[in-house]
Amino acid sequence: MIECYQVTKIYKNNEVETQALRGVSLKIRKGEFVAIMGPSGSGKSTLMHILGCLDTPTSGQYFLNGENVSNFSDDQLSEIRLKKIGFIFQSFNLLPRATVLRNVMLPLVYAKVSKKERELIAKEALRESAFPEKFWNHYSNQLSGGMMQRVAIARALVNNPDLILADEPTGNLDTKTGEAILAAFQQLHRKGRTIILVTHEPYVAQCAERILHIRDGSIFEDEIVKERRIIKDF
């Protein structure tokens, strides 16, 4: 599903160049649950941005579902993000004065899905993310952090994406709530979803099947998780 060959990323600021990625090569199969782990500044967020078509590599090639997207235009990348990738961020990125249901329906508005259909799809996504129905018409700023993250998961699911990318999804949550969110990811994976989770926490990465360890812009270890941490549903 994902293939990267010698991907580099160099940021330029006036006369200063910063090499964030240094020849990254990797493959991820459809249906895998992979964690990308590394310390702050290791290049993991830059790699996630490229895998999520939020940015393009300086050099190298990136194939998504057999299609070389390395040199796509902004409009082409936007179309891929809309139709093929679901994003979940540490800060939730919800509209505070919109209801839960409206927040989840938003990507479908951009996809020009009819109002009746997008409401049905959004409700199904909320059920899949185990979000309680009695809160569907609450505003997102009335919710706890864990509930907001479940809304963000539902929003990522509405376009039935090929790939779910989660960037430090438990970073703003307490331990118990974070465990519940990780349990939700494992449940989605059991249903066949392809998930890439970016983290700097080993205990979070151990919930995945496989860990790509990144440091100084390079992957230095590709680890199959032998004793995977399975979390019971909360």
Mean pLDDT confidence for 33-48: 94
**18-23: which pairs have CB atoms within 8 A and are 24 or more residues apart?**
19/217, 20/46, 20/217, 21/46, 21/47, 21/50, 21/57, 21/217, 21/218, 22/216, 22/217, 22/218, 23/60, 23/218
Q: What is the mean pLDDT of the chain?
A: 93
Mean predicted confidence (pLDDT) in 176-189: 92
> Per-residue pLDDT tens for 137-179?
999 989 999 999 999 999 999 999 999 999 999 988 988 899 9
Kindly tell me if the per-residue pLDDT of 232 is higher than 80: no
What is the pLDDT at residue 233? 62
Task: List, in sequence order, every residue forming a beta bridge with 207; answer none if it has no partner.
Answer: none
Q: Where are the domains of the chain?
A: 2-224
pTM: 0.91
Question: What homologous superfamily is domain 2-224 in, according to CATH?
Answer: P-loop containing nucleotide triphosphate hydrolases (3.40.50.300)
156 exposed, middle or buried (CB, 10 Å; 0-12, 13-18, 19+)?
Answer: buried
Per-residue pLDDT, averaged over 199-205, amounts to: 94
- What is the DSSP secondary-structure string of the chain? -EEEEEEEEEEEETTEEEEEEEEEEEEE-TT-EEEEE--TTSSHHHHHHHHTTSS--SEEEEEETTEE-TT--HHHHHHHHHHHEEEEETT----TTSBHHHHHHHHHHHTT--HHHHHHHHHHHHHHTT--GGGTTSBGGGS-HHHHHHHHHHHHHTT--SEEEEESTTTTS-HHHHHHHHHHHHHHHHTT--EEEEES-HHHHTTSSEEEEEETTEEEEEEE-SS-------
Res 98: pLDDT: 93
Please tell me the predicted confidence (pLDDT) of residue 166.
95
**What is the structure's pLDDT at 13?**
86
- What gap in Å lies between CA 168 and CA 42, rounded to an integer? 14
pLDDT (tens digit, 9 = 90+) per residue, 99-131? 999 999 999 988 889 988 999 999 999 999 989
Which residues are 9's β-sheet partners?
21
Instruction: Tell which residue, 14, 40, 135, 152, has the closest CA to residue 93.
Output: 152
Render pLDDT for 52-77 as a digit per residue (tens, 0 to 9): 999 999 999 999 999 999 989 999 99
